[in-house]
Chains A and B, each alone.
Chain A
Amino acid sequence: EVQLVESGGGLVQPGRSLKLSCAASGFTFSNYGMHWIRQAPTKGLEWVASISPSGGSTYYRDSVKGRFTISRDNAKSTLYLQMDSLRSEDTATYYCATDFHGTGIPGYWGQGVMVTVSS
């Protein structure tokens, strides 16, 4: 069974940094692309970033480019999101997700972790 467990969220002041982790199990982590998707309170879903199976290719939405860094450690089956220069508009639940059967479609999602950016 695919399991994704996010951690590292919390309350942080604007301009500060936070690093999210996503521990994966139940599948061969190194074979699949991974994604971060967020949802602001009472709002819809927003794609944040994606990374290829090897980690050699990364993709970001414009609003986080230069501030967020997606990375992975295939030996530890763990996905990361380093978030720097955080803004109030980054406040959201952050979900990690993995490809569905290698299709590239975010098919399996974690339970999410809350990040609150506030002074």
Chain B
Amino acid sequence: EIVLTQSPTTMAASPGEKVTLNCLASSSVSYMNWYQQKSGASPKLWIYGTSNLASGVPNRFSGSGSGTSYSLTISSMEAEDVATYYCLQLSSYPWTFGGGTKLELK
């Protein structure tokens, strides 16, 4: 089973600050997907295929990485970005999610 480790577990960012969330895989994966989950809501696909933004995702978000190391970057933090972000690998079964990064507003 491929284990995904997300860091940091929790972080707080100020409006306008650049934010980078990380996802480290225990084995190489072909690409990474990211989900945003706000409190009390269902997860939403946010970034797919490592770097493609899902519909409606602001272009201040970006994704990058390869092999075992992937990241989600917010170029300029906004209040609406407060949420928990999860990475997901589909390269091998069982599909696995990272433990999540909770992003708060400072």
Interface residues of A (CB under 8 A from B): 44-47, 50, 59, 61-62, 95, 100, 103-112
Partner of A46 from B33, B44, B97 at Cβ < 8 Å: B97
- Bound-state CA distance A105–B93 (Å) is 13
The reply to whether B48 and A111 form a contact with Cβ atoms under 8 Å apart is: no
Question: Is B90's CB within 8 Å of the partner chain A?
Answer: yes
Question: Is B98's CB within 8 Å of the partner chain A?
Answer: yes
- Name the B residues within 8 Å of A111 (CB-CB): 42
Partner of A109 from B33, B42, B99 at Cβ < 8 Å: B42
- Name the B residues within 8 Å of A47 (CB-CB): 88, 94-97
Given contacts A100-B54, A107-B54, contact A44 B97 (CB under 8 A): yes
- Name the A residues within 8 Å of B48 (CB-CB): 100, 103, 105, 107
- Bound-state CA distance A95–B97 (Å) is 14
Task: Rank and list the top 9 A-B pairs by shortest CB-CB distance, nearest first.
Answer: A47-B95, A45-B97, A61-B94, A109-B42, A107-B45, A44-B100, A44-B99, A105-B48, A45-B86
- A-B pairs with beta carbons under 8 A, tally: 48
The reply to whether B94 and A62 form a contact with Cβ atoms under 8 Å apart is: yes
The reply to whether A109 and B44 form a contact with Cβ atoms under 8 Å apart is: yes
Interface residues of B (CB under 8 A from A): 33, 35, 37, 42-45, 48-49, 54, 86, 88, 90, 93-100
- Bound-state CA distance A28–B35 (Å) is 24
The reply to whether A45 and B42 form a contact with Cβ atoms under 8 Å apart is: no
Given contacts A45-B86, A105-B33, contact A112 B42 (CB under 8 A): yes
The reply to whether B90 and A104 form a contact with Cβ atoms under 8 Å apart is: yes
Q: A44-B100, A107-B45 are in contact. List 14 more A-B contacts (CB 8 A).
A: A45-B37, A45-B100, A47-B94, A47-B97, A50-B95, A59-B93, A103-B48, A104-B90, A105-B33, A105-B88, A105-B90, A106-B88, A107-B54, A109-B44
- Bound-state CA distance A46–B94 (Å) is 10
CB distance from B50 to the nearest CB of A (A): 11
- Bound-state CA distance A39–B102 (Å) is 15
- Bound-state CA distance A100–B98 (Å) is 20
CB distance from B45 to the nearest CB of A (A): 5
